[in-house]
Amino acid sequence: MSISDKECSRLNAAAQAARTFAYAPYSNYRVGAAVLTGEGTIVSGCNVENASYGATICAERVALTRAVAEGKKNFIAIAVATEDGGSPCGICRQVMVELGPEMQVFISDASGAFRSTTVRELLPDSFDGSGLITPARSKMQKTD
């Protein structure tokens, strides 16, 4: 699904603004992200680092999990803003596939210049939960 130029501008501006809130005392690599829902709502997030590096959470996942926590589920696009136009990490790409596999992705640098791609282009040949057997699904498949 394609979004309008006005929505794209709003989304990229929200991601740029979110960068200012980043907590990045270790890498000094500030990232902002903003996700657009099907209802037209924009939810933003920033990276939050931790001295225990594994506890760090990327801006993309903050924006998406915040949106989910607010009851949003239909994601149309996500914008990611970094100093140098860096691309989302692998974990973020997997989360994007799980929550919004058809999303457009806009990646911008500090000047606001951006490129457009899709979640599928960022993570080709991805997998989702459809192939996983959960305890509940396993019980449903058993026959006596």
Task: Say which of 39, 60, 70, 83 is annotated catalytic.
Answer: 60
DSSP track, 46-87: E-B--SSGGG-B-HHHHHHHHHHHTT---EEEEEEE-SB-PP
SS3 116: strand
Judging by beta carbons within 10 Å of its beta carbon (0-12, 13-18, 19+), is residue 36 exposed, middle or buried? buried
83 in catalytic set: no
How many helices (H) and strands (E) would you count in the chain? 5, 5
- The residues assigned a catalytic role are 60
